[in-house]
Amino acid sequence: MKYGTWAAAQGLAAPDNGPAADPDNDGIGNGLEIFLGGHPLKPEPHLIPHGSLVKEGVVYYLAIDLSVVLSTLPSDLTLEARRSTDLVVWKQEDIVMEITGYDPALCVEVRRYRSTIPCHSLPREYLQVTATGT
């Protein structure tokens, strides 16, 4: 399914129908909302991806976990993870995506986007996941 088809089916109209728009003000843009299986006109803050520190061996890494509904994946959007150390410059590097779970009954895949830079080696680090057009 294409993003525009989904947006129209949800009742979205300009200017609220773009992937970056958030007409229900729940902190989740429409583009990400389609991946999470949410409704863009119904606030669902419980769907917001959450950050965590993940321990591998004796080292901690920054990560973001989210549940992706595979039955609603748009053919013209992708999920993009980016990291920053200053909230100004964002790069798509030093990040891995791991599948940490799957629920076949709900057709949901749990994904973790994790920094490959150990937390102790940086004064600060930020991660974000957004939906971008292809």
pLDDT single digits (tens) 8-31 = 999 999 999 999 999 999 999 999
State which CATH number among 1.20.1740, 2.60.40, 3.15.10, 2.40.10 fits the domain covering 3-133: 2.60.40
Kindly report the backbone phi and psi dihedral angles of residue 97, in degrees, each rounded to the nearest multiple of 5, phi listed first: -110, 130
Please determine, for residue 134, whether its predicted confidence score (pLDDT) is greater than 80: no
CA separation for the pair 8, 133 (Å, rounded): 17
User: What pTM does this model have?
Assistant: 0.90
- Residue range 25-63, pLDDT digits in tens: 999 999 999 999 999 999 999 999 999 999 999 999 999
**Residue 85 CB partners (closer than 8 Å, separation 6+):** 122, 123, 124, 125, 126
Q: What are the sequence ranges of the domains in the chain?
A: 3-133
Percent of the chain with pLDDT over 90: 94
Question: pLDDT tens for residues 80-109?
Answer: 999 999 999 999 999 999 999 999 999 999
